Copies of this chain bind each other. A is one copy, B any other.
Amino acid sequence: MRTIRSVSAMAAWRAALGREGVTVGLVPTMGALHAGHQSLIRKARLTSDAVVVSLFVNSRQFGPGEDFLRYPRPFQADAALCRAEGVDVLFEPSARAMYPPGFRTSVSVPDVARRWEGAKRPGHFDGVATVLTKLFVIARPDVAFFGQKDFQQMVIVRRLVEDLNLGVRLVVCPTVRERDGLALSSRNRRLTPAQRRAAPVLYEALQAGRTVILRGVRFGHLITKAMRQVIATEPRMKADYLAVCGPETLEPLARVTKTAVLLGAVRLGRVRLIDNLLVKL
């Protein structure tokens, strides 16, 4: 495995492969890799000739007062995981390489980015869209791999890639969960033992939402109510939002007719967790 830290070296590596007709798969990450990322890397390994994992804790997607400085950075363990999974290139640029002095360009995807996570974290998705545009331009992957867990991000990336003609095929992989249902997240390691025990209630709430839909409930507000009731059973957990949305626009659905995505975000102490569930009738 080769570790590349410079943007120009990454672009040069890609250009050389391009001349050989090799396909490149990219797994963009902020590090702190877990089995969720591992599943993306394995999927990439199976479907692309060469696999690039980018590891960059993107300051621009953290708001003021968010956990940028506290975000875990176990770089050695991350590199070991990538090596063990047969990654070809670990692209690990410095903040200065990605955002040199004078940097100011911003990519945004209005509307979709303003809801849910965007409402709670102003500027978050502009940061995501900007860094992913850069990564896609630098590494020019044929395919990029994302987890379904960041559902709203995935909707935004899909829009971005199409609108800016980036020519990247997006593959969305299922959310990997602990045995008790908790979606894997780098933030889980910041939960206290008691919070950790409470954490699966988010997924239980989403499942309750799915259950009432499959039992015939169609009104969005009733489905949301069913989810809220489950969250309310766990006093440690505060809901940021629970919503029943169209899976493309992420607009709340007054009534479920075909496919819906159930979105949830909660707080457990200072840790914020998100999760989602796609329901097809």
Contacts and interface: CB of A to CB of B under 8 A. Distances in A.
- Chain A interface size range: 20 to 34
Contact of A106 (B7, B108, B165): B108
Given A18-B19, A19-B19, A159-B102, A165 B7 contact: yes
How many copies of this chain? 2
B104 A107 contact: no
Contact of A105 (B7, B100, B160, B167): B160
Contacts of A138: 165
A165 B138 CA distance: 6
A163 interface: yes
A159 B104 contact: yes
A129 B129 CA distance: 15
Interface string A85-127: 0000000000000001011111111111000000000000000
15 contacts: A7-B165, A11-B167, A15-B18, A104-B109, A104-B110, A104-B159, A105-B109, A105-B129, A105-B163, A105-B164, A106-B109, A106-B110, A107-B107, A107-B164, A137-B164
